[in-house]
Amino acid sequence: MNGNAQKTLSELSNLKATNVQLTDNSKVMNTELVSALKLDGLVAIAESIAESK
């Protein structure tokens, strides 16, 4: 694994360690929750890509 991939994985690890707080309490359509779940999925995909290089 090269230095760029290692740096990317380090940054992704820091991002995952960040506590996301939601303020939208709507039970009908909680857009903040949807965005947080999307972000979690995107970080997982980015980690997979960085680890495969």
Do 49 and 21 form a contact (C-beta atoms < 8 A)?
A: no
pTM: 0.77
- Is it the case that residue 51 has pLDDT exceeding 80? yes
- Is it the case that residue 53 has pLDDT exceeding 80? no
What are the pLDDT digits (tens) for 6-48?
A: 999 999 999 999 888 889 888 888 999 999 999 999 999 999 9
* Number of domains, the chain: 1
SS3 47: helix
Domain span at residue 27 reads 3-52
Count Cβ atoms below 10 Å from residue 31 Cβ, excluding itself.
10
